[in-house]
Amino acid sequence: MASENILRGSNRWEDLGDGVSRQIMGWDNQIMMVKVKFEKGAIGTEHTHFHTQTTYCVSGKFEFTMDGKKVVVEPGDGLYVPPNMLHGAVCLEAGILIDVFSPVREDFLKG
């Protein structure tokens, strides 16, 4: 049930190590929203996935590398990551990103 997904995990932070943690906000089979907290200097290692992703910067400052190009993201900025694009980020100032994925990142729900 979708309403259970809103509540499940919404207050639980998962420590991913190396200054990164995430909080799954809600999901169904088609979409997922995740809050990701970074300490200054933390790295979101470059990776790819088949999901469509949008990211909104709530706070902090981040340098994203997207398909080999660098872009700096600050509060109020957003970006779009197409499926299978190589991307990653370095946190320049501690902050929070909101990531939205379609479809759901089932790999985030395991464990």
| pLDDT single digits (tens) 35-57 | 999 999 999 999 999 999 999 99
Nearest to 42 by CA among 23, 9, 17, 72: 17
Q: How many other CB atoms are there within 10 angstroms of residue 77's CB atom?
A: 15
pLDDT score of 1 more than 60: no
pTM to 2 decimal places: 0.89
Dihedral sign computed on CA atoms, order 99, 30, 47, 87 = negative
DSSP secondary structure of 5-44? HHHTTTT--EEEETTEEEEEEEE-SS-EEEEEEE-TT-EE
Helix (H) or strand (E) holding 56: strand 52-66
pLDDT, averaged across the chain: 91
Coil, strand or helix: which one is 108?
A: helix
Residue-range domain boundaries for the chain = 2-109
CATH class of 2-109: mainly beta
| pLDDT single digits (tens) 84-99 | 999 999 999 999 999 9
